[in-house]
């Protein structure tokens, strides 16, 4: 598990578990997570592939600055998943192209 | 269209301090923050801050936010704080547009204080786009906001304060830090931080750089190497470390996009972190009634960001006609505090930068 | 190339340390603060927090902290406050080969009193297994302080500790196997102050944490603050202080006394006694 259980200074209260789908596979995250943090906690670091170089991509800044983390969320492409709140039942897919409008 | 006397952009230590002082003088304030939480960089800082008691030294960053936010209440002027509110542009006619919880709104302020902070710089090396190469801010966000370990074994690139502090925070979260490296020939951050992480057994290698991140689809290894006086790699010193995260902490640059866009005059001043908007003693830019404060005015510390915020808040309110008998004295004491904070050897860079920017000359 | 200057390693060496230690004489006097802060940075909580004025006044917020060891009592307030975690409290004043080191510790979990841990050098290298003798964890912003019992000749070399692995613990246990006797340790600690229910273990903790007078122990534990005014506990506490090597019983101030010297009821007080005047 990648979640911090004990910390000398911070406390992370137990939160409700949310189920979402990554490329069709059911994963669980926690309420309050962003899509990126939930994926990371579930061990998913590769969020997609660059449309030109086809190299794997993950997040980089985690605060919505760099656009390294674009994914297709509920059919909408180019969502910066590092600042997008996770919701129950979300359909999250790797993005490997520039994204086509739904 | 919303009409407000004073609009403040960014609710970090600078913005919150500006709001407090302006409202104290009787000026109503609208404070817009892009993130879902106020506090800026502070919400990720679990360590105790330096500075003097006036800037809450020895209080943890995460607790300073509450103090700053608490001060904005019950003042002669009203402070309205909106989160999930990103300012998109400042236009010539003085109109500001913002995305407030998904709706674009127009605001017509009489004065603006830009306190948008900074963005992280990065490094170019082969494999730097592999998942697992993360900015220091991202590592902190993941760890201290979401309670998620960024990985198991980390190489920290950068031995400035951020690299040292984030290394320490990683260890507190139970993550192993394999090494901290820095291309400079000395540790850039405070040596008390350096000593602290040495005690935990983490090596700090100066004059070292990262040559590559290796891995098929994610970071699996990092190649580091010593560099010579010409900053060229000394091949025989190459080492391969098994790590799953390479954390890049090579500095910040002012996030002044809104100001460039609006036409504020700015200069590239390396000691201040990049392009910084010019400003006068009152923190006003070359644009009438547009002020700056905090890291956007030059990368420094939360302590100075707060004082600059207070100064900008007082000055902007004064310019709009909100004055108290103490106003001038308050401005003087802010300037004196800034001078104090920047007086020592570690403030040398800032002093040089500000001199180049024409402040203090 | 080797890069071994302090600003390249972050490791304080003989040169740095020569600026922050007391004289032989002063070391014998009692615990003292070792402030390993050798770079001018804008920071002053240490000097602001010391109520004994034992840190020389700063010219400005960037000044270096220097301790006046004649004034420093080793109270450790500064150590809990310093954001740089740069202050250590050393006590080598007691006779014998051992002294104590209190160090700031901000990791999870905190060790337990009596636990054996591995003492670490400034570089984080293993030195030797040592005992944790006290932990003070003041809630709030302060940094918890852990007290280690160390050989006197290592007091300036050890600056951290780590937990022992299970194997290391097992290895240590084997050594002590022979010493196992009746399980006295698991019995509850004897009561020293009956009025306030203070145990011997609590008293020993306070002494290990740096309390050196009956008065200090009284204020922190309440031992001696009960209606009997310390008649049962005072001698034991003085004995414990002596056992810990803090002077002879004869020389110890007994602590303060307040009237009434016996128990009275509020009713009695309210009625008032005969006035002499
Ligand atoms: C790891 C680390 C450790 C540090 N340790 C210390 C320390 O010990 N002591 C110390 O004094 N300083 C420390 N600092 C520095 C300190 O955090 C910063 O100098 C300080 O936060 C700068 O304050 P600010 O208000 O200018 O910017 P920030 O804190 O960055 O706040 C800017 C805010 O503006 C918001 N914003 C940006 N753009 C927009 C927009 N378009 N619309 C709306 N909102 C926007 C951002 O979301 C952010 O909340 C540390 C920094 C880091 C990264
Ligand atoms: S240990 Fe106590 S007396 Fe000594 S310097 Fe620190 S605060 Fe002052
Ligand atoms: S509080 Fe700590 S880091 Fe700050 S000046 Fe004092 S000793 Fe140095
Ligand atoms: S990781 Fe930078 S925008 Fe999401």
pLDDT for C181 = 46
End-to-end alpha-carbon separation of chain B, Å? Answer: 41
Instruction: State the distance from the centre of ligand 1 to the C-alpha of C248, rounded, in angstroms.
Output: 57
Residue whose tokens read 């399980």: C183
- Opening angle at CA B55, ends B53 and B56, nearest 5: 60
Best mutation site among B301, B307, B309 for ligand 1, i.e. most ligand atoms within 8 A of its Cβ? B301
B235 vs B103: CA distance, rounded Å: 55
Residue whose tokens read 């592999």: B130
Q: Which positions in chain A touch C140 (Cβ < 8 Å)? A: none
Instruction: State the distance from the centre of ligand 4 to the C-alpha of B252, rounded, in angstroms.
Output: 16
Closest chain C residue by Cα to residue B61? C141
B19, with CB counted inside 10 A (0-12, 13-18, 19+), is buried
CATH number of this structure's domain A17-94: 3.10.20.440
The tokens of B257 are what? 């996009």
Q: Which positions in chain C touch A9 (Cβ < 8 Å)? A: 106
B144 vs B159: CA distance, rounded Å: 20
Q: Beta C145-151 vs C126-136: how paired, if at all?
A: antiparallel
Q: Among residues B271, B283, B296, which one has the least CA distance to residue B350?
A: B271
Q: Which positions in chain A touch B120 (Cβ < 8 Å)? A: 61, 65
pLDDT for B281 = 92
Cross-chain Cβ contact C141/B48 below 8 Å: yes
What is the least distance, in Å, from the CA of B68 to any CA of chain C? 17
Best mutation site among B190, B192, B340, B346 for ligand 3, i.e. most ligand atoms within 8 A of its Cβ? B192
Cross-chain Cβ contact A58/B218 below 8 Å: yes
Give yes or no on whether B2-119+252-356 and B122-248 have one common fold: yes
Contacts of C167 (CB under 8 A, 6+ apart): none
> With a 6 A CB cut-off, is A61 part of the ligand 4 pocket?
yes
Instruction: State the distance from the centre of ligand 4 to the C-alpha of B303, rounded, in angstroms.
Output: 28
What confidence tier does C255 reach under pLDDT thresholds 50, 70, 90?
Answer: low
What Cα–Cα distance (Å) separates residue A48 from each residue in A53, A78, A80, B130?
A: 12, 11, 12, 11
User: Residue C32 pairs with which residues in a beta bridge?
Assistant: C90
Give chain B as a 3 state SS string: CEEEEEEEECCCHHHHHHHHHHHHCCCCEEEECCCCCCCHHHHHCCCECCECHHHCCCCEHHHHHHHHHHHCCCCCCCEEEECCEEEEEECCCCCEEEEECCEEEEEEEEEEEECCCEEECCCCCCCCCCCCEEEHHHHHHHHHHCCECCCCEEEEECCCHHHHHHHHHHHHCCCEEEEEEECCCCCCCCHHHHHHHHHCCCCEEECEEEEEEECCCCCCEEEEEEECCCCCECHHHCEEEECCEEEECCCEEECCHHHHHHCCCEEEEHHHCEEEECCCCCCECCCCCEEECHHHHCCCCHHHHHHHHHHHHHHHHHHCCCCCCCHHHHHHHHHHHHHHHCCCHHHHHHHHHHHHCCCCC
Residues B33, B344 contacting (CB under 8 angstroms): no
pLDDT in tens, A59-72: 999 988 888 899 99
Summary mean pLDDT of chain A: 93
pLDDT for A66 = 83
The H or E element that residue A26 is part of is: strand A25-30
> With a 6 A CB cut-off, is C144 part of the ligand 3 pocket?
no
What confidence tier does C198 reach under pLDDT thresholds 50, 70, 90?
Answer: confident
The secondary structure of residue A40, as a DSSP letter, is: H
The tokens of B145 are what? 């906001």
Residues B353, B298 contacting (CB under 8 angstroms): yes
Which ligand 4 atom is the nearest neighbour of the CA of A69?
4
B286, with CB counted inside 10 A (0-12, 13-18, 19+), is middle
- B 39-78 residues inside an 8 A Cβ radius of C: 47-53, 57-60, 63
What confidence tier does C206 reach under pLDDT thresholds 50, 70, 90?
Answer: confident
Q: Among residues C87, C88, C91, C130, which one has the least CA distance to residue C111?
A: C130
pLDDT in tens, A26-61: 999 999 999 999 999 999 999 999 888 888 999 999
Closest chain A residue by Cα to residue B137? A61
> With a 6 A CB cut-off, is B12 part of the ligand 1 pocket?
yes
The radius of gyration of chain C from alpha carbons, rounded to an integer in Å, stands at: 22
Which ligand 1 atom is the nearest neighbour of the CA of B137?
53
Instruction: State the distance from the centre of ligand 3 to the C-alpha of C43, rounded, in angstroms.
Output: 6
B171 vs B154: CA distance, rounded Å: 10
Domain borders along chain A are 17-94
> Does residue C268 register a pLDDT over 80?
no
B122-248 has which fold? FAD/NAD(P)-binding domain (3.50.50)
- Is B168 an 8 Å CB contact of chain A? no
Closest chain C residue by Cα to residue B342? C42
Instruction: State the distance from the centre of ligand 4 to the C-alpha of A32, rounded, in angstroms.
Output: 17
> Does residue C264 register a pLDDT over 80?
no
pLDDT for B361 = 38
C26 vs B39: CA distance, rounded Å: 46
> Does residue C182 register a pLDDT over 60?
no
Cross-chain Cβ contact B48/C39 below 8 Å: no
> Does residue C104 register a pLDDT over 70?
yes
> Does residue A23 register a pLDDT over 50?
yes
What is the least distance, in Å, from the CA of B341 to any CA of chain C? 6
Residue whose tokens read 């040592």: C130
Protein residue with least CA distance to atom 2, ligand 3: C82
Mean pLDDT of C12-29: 94
> With a 6 A CB cut-off, is B10 part of the ligand 1 pocket?
yes
- Is B133 an 8 Å CB contact of chain A? yes
What confidence tier does C273 reach under pLDDT thresholds 50, 70, 90?
Answer: very low
Cross-chain Cβ contact C39/B195 below 8 Å: no
> Does residue C161 register a pLDDT over 90?
yes
The secondary structure of residue A85, as a DSSP letter, is: B
pLDDT for C180 = 43
Contacts of C219 (CB under 8 A, 6+ apart): none
Residues C63, C40 contacting (CB under 8 angstroms): yes
B294 vs B58: CA distance, rounded Å: 20
Q: What is the pLDDT along chain B (361 residues), one digit of tens a residue?
A: 999 999 999 999 999 999 999 999 999 999 999 999 999 999 999 999 988 888 899 999 999 999 999 999 999 999 999 999 999 999 988 999 999 998 999 999 999 999 999 999 889 999 999 999 999 999 999 999 999 999 999 999 999 999 999 999 999 999 999 999 999 999 999 999 999 999 999 999 999 999 999 999 999 999 999 999 998 999 999 999 999 999 999 999 999 989 998 999 998 898 999 899 999 999 999 999 999 999 999 999 999 999 999 999 999 999 999 999 999 999 999 999 999 999 988 899 999 999 888 775 3
Contacts of C186 (CB under 8 A, 6+ apart): none
B253, with CB counted inside 10 A (0-12, 13-18, 19+), is middle
For residue C260, is the peptide bond before it cis, meaning its omega torsion is within 30 degrees of 0? yes
What is the least distance, in Å, from the CA of C65 to any CA of chain A? 27
User: Residue C119 pairs with which residues in a beta bridge?
Assistant: C128, C161
Instruction: State the distance from the centre of ligand 3 to the C-alpha of C116, rounded, in angstroms.
Output: 30
What would you measure as the largest C-alpha separation in chain B, in angstroms? Answer: 68
pLDDT for B194 = 98
For residue A57, is the peptide bond before it cis, meaning its omega torsion is within 30 degrees of 0? no
Residues C34, C88 contacting (CB under 8 angstroms): yes
What is the least distance, in Å, from the CA of B287 to any CA of chain C? 32
CATH number of this structure's domain C191-251: 1.10.10
The secondary structure of residue A70, as a DSSP letter, is: E
Homologous superfamily (CATH) for B2-119+252-356: FAD/NAD(P)-binding domain (3.50.50.60)
Give chain C as a 3 state SS string: CCCCCHHHHCCCCHHHHCCCCCCHHHHHHCCEEEECCCCCCCECHHHHHCCCCCECCCCCCCCCCCECCCCCCCCCHHHHHCCCCCEEEEECCCCCCEEEEEEECCCCCCCCCCCEEEEEECCCCEEEEEEEEEEECCCCCCCCEEEEEEEHHHCCCEEEEECCCHHHHHHHHHHHHHHCCCCHHHCCCCEEECCCCEEHHHHHHHHHCCCCCHHHHHHHHCCCCCCCCCCCHHHHHHHHHHHCCCCCHHHCCCCCCCCCCCCCCHHHHHHCCCCCC
> Does residue C205 register a pLDDT over 60?
yes
The secondary structure of residue A80, as a DSSP letter, is: E
Instruction: State the distance from the centre of ligand 2 to the C-alpha of C77, rounded, in angstroms.
Output: 6
C223 vs C234: CA distance, rounded Å: 8
Q: Say what angle helices B302-319 and B327-341 make with each other, to 10 degrees.
A: 160
> Does residue C184 register a pLDDT over 90?
no
**In the complex, which subunits touch C with 3 or more CB pairs below 8 angstroms?**
A, B
Contacts of C229 (CB under 8 A, 6+ apart): C257, C258, C261
Protein residue with least CA distance to atom 30, ligand 1: B117
Q: Which positions in chain A touch C107 (Cβ < 8 Å)? A: 8
Cross-chain Cβ contact B137/A61 below 8 Å: yes
Domain borders along chain B are 2-119+252-356, 122-248
Contacts of C254 (CB under 8 A, 6+ apart): C214, C234, C238
> Does residue C176 register a pLDDT over 60?
no
């Amino acid at each position: 598990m990648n979640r911090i259980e004990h910390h000398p200074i911070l406390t992370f209260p137990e939160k409700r578990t949310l189920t979402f789908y990554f490329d069709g596979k059911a994963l669980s995250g926690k309420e309050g997570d962003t899509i990126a943090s939930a994926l990371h906690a579930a061990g998913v670091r590769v969020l997609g592939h660059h449309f030109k170089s086809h190299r794997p991509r993950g997040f980089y800044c985690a605060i919505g600055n760099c656009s390294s983390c674009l994914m297709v969320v509920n059919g909408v492409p180019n969502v910066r998943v590092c600042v997008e709140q996770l919701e129950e039942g979300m359909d999250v897919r790797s993005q490997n192209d520039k994204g086509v409008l739904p | 269209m919303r009409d407000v006397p004073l609009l403040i952009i960014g609710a970090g230590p600078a913005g919150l301090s500006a709001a407090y002082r302006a409202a104290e003088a009787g000026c109503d304030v609208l404070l817009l923050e892009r993130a879902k939480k106020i506090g800026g960089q502070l919400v990720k800082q679990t360590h105790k801050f330096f500075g003097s008691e006036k800037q809450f030294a020895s209080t943890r960053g995460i607790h300073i936010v509450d103090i700053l936010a608490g001060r904005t209440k019950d003042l002669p002027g009203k402070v309205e704080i909106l989160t999930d509110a990103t300012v998109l542009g400042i236009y010539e006619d003085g109109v500001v547009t913002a995305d407030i919880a998904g709706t674009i709104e127009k605001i017509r302020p009489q004065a603006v204080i830009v306190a948008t902070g900074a963005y992280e710089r990065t490094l170019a090396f082969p494999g730097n786009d592999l998942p697992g190469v993360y900015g220091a801010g991202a590592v902190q966000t993941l760890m201290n906001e979401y309670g998620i370990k960024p990985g198991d074994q980390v190489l920290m690139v950068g031995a400035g304060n951020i690299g040292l502090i984030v290394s320490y925070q990683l260890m507190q979260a139970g993550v192993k830090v394999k090494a901290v490296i820095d291309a400079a020939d000395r540790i850039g951050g405070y040596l008390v931080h350096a000593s602290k992480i040495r005690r935990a057994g983490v090596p700090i290698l100066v004059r070292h750089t990262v040559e590559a991140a290796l891995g098929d689809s994610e970071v699996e290894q990092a190649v580091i190497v010593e560099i010579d006086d010409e900053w060229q790699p000394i091949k025989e010193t190459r080492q391969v470390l098994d790590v799953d995260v390479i954390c890049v902490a090579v500095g910040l640059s002012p996030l002044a996009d809104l100001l460039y866009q609006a036409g504020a005059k700015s200069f590239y001043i390396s000691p201040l972190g990049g392009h910084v908007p010019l400003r006068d003693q009152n923190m006003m830019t070359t644009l009438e009634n547009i002020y700056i404060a905090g890291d956007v005015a030059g990368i420094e510390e939360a302590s100075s960001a707060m004082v600059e915020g207070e100064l900008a808040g007082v000055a902007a309110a004064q310019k709009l006609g909100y004055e108290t008998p103490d106003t001038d004295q308050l401005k003087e004491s802010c300037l004196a505090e800034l001078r104090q904070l920047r007086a020592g050897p570690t403030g040398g860079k800032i002093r040089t930068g500000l001199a180049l920017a024409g402040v203090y000359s | 190339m080797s890069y071994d200057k302090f600003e390249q390693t972050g490791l304080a060496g003989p040169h740095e340390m020569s600026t922050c230690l007391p004289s032989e004489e002063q070391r014998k006097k009692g615990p003292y603060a070792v402030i390993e802060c050798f770079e001018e940075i804008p920071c002053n909580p240490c000097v602001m927090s010391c109520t004994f004025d034992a840190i020389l006044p700063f010219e400005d917020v960037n000044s270096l902290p220097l301790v006046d060891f004649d004034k420093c009592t080793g109270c450790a307030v500064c150590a809990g406050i310093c954001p740089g975690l740069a202050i250590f409290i050393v006590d080598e004043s007691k006779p014998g080969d051992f002294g104590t080191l209190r160090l700031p510790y901000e990791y999870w979990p905190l060790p337990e009193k009596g636990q054996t841990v591995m003492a670490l050098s400034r570089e984080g290298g293993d030195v030797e297994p040592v005992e944790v003798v006290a932990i003070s964890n003041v809630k709030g912003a302060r940094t918890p302080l852990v007290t280690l019992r160390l050989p006197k000749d290592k007091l300036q070399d050890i600056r951290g500790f780590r937990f022992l692995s299970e194997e290391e613990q097992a290895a240590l246990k084997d050594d002590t196997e022979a010493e196992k006797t009746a399980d006295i340790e698991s019995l509850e600690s004897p009561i020293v102050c009956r009025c306030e229910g203070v145990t011997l273990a609590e008293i020993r903790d306070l002494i290990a944490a740096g309390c050196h007078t009956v008065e200090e122990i009284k204020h922190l534990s309440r031992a001696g603050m009960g209606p009997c005014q310390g008649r049962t506990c005072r001698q034991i506490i003085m004995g414990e202080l002596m056992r810990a090597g803090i002077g002879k019983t004869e020389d110890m101030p007994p602590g303060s006394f307040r009237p009434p010297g016996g128990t009275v009821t509020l009713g009695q007080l309210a009625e008032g006694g005969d006035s002499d005047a």
